[in-house]
């Protein structure tokens, strides 16, 4: 279903972001360079891991709406994000251990 939506120039996201079930389709829709830029912007944000993504093991590419502001993104918005993210070095993703 997600692949068909992308083929028809639709989106795999909704008003709450991409979510765990469709996160692997985000690069197909937006392009890997955009996903990389979103990762960099996420790392540069001031929100700690536990506040944004509690229960998610180090996946920084999940929250498109949080980073981009909305699921319907203009190319100019993507370019602006990529330019802003270029200022930051991507930090390695650290797996978070869940309490037993």
Res 84: pLDDT: 66
Query: Which pLDDT belongs to residue 59?
Result: 43
pLDDT at position 13 is 73
Q: What is the pLDDT of residue 58?
A: 42
Output the pLDDT for position 65: 46
Question: What integer pLDDT is reported at residue 60 of this predicted model?
Answer: 44
Residues of the chain with pLDDT under 50: 50-52, 55, 57-66, 70, 92, 100
Q: What is the pLDDT of residue 82?
A: 67
Q: How far apart are CA 57 and CA 93, in angstroms?
A: 9
- Asked if residue 82 lies in contact with residue 30, where contact means CB atoms within 8 angstroms, the answer is no
CB atoms within 10 A of CB 10: 11
Domain ranges for the chain: 2-85
**pTM metric for this prediction:** 0.40
Residue 57: its pLDDT value, please? 45
Which of 19, 40, 34, 46 minimizes the C-alpha distance to 79?
34
């Amino acid at each position: 279903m997600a692949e068909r939506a992308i083929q028809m120039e639709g989106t795999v996201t909704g008003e709450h972001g991409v979510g765990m079930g469709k996160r692997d389709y985000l690069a197909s829709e937006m392009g890997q360079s955009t996903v990389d830029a979103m990762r960099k912007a996420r790392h540069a944000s001031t929100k700690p891991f536990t506040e944004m993504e509690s229960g998610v093991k180090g996946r920084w590419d999940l929250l498109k709406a949080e980073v981009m502001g909305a699921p319907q993104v203009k190319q100019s918005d993507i370019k602006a994000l990529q330019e802003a993210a270029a200022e930051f070095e991507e930090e390695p993703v650290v797996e978070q251990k869940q309490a037993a």
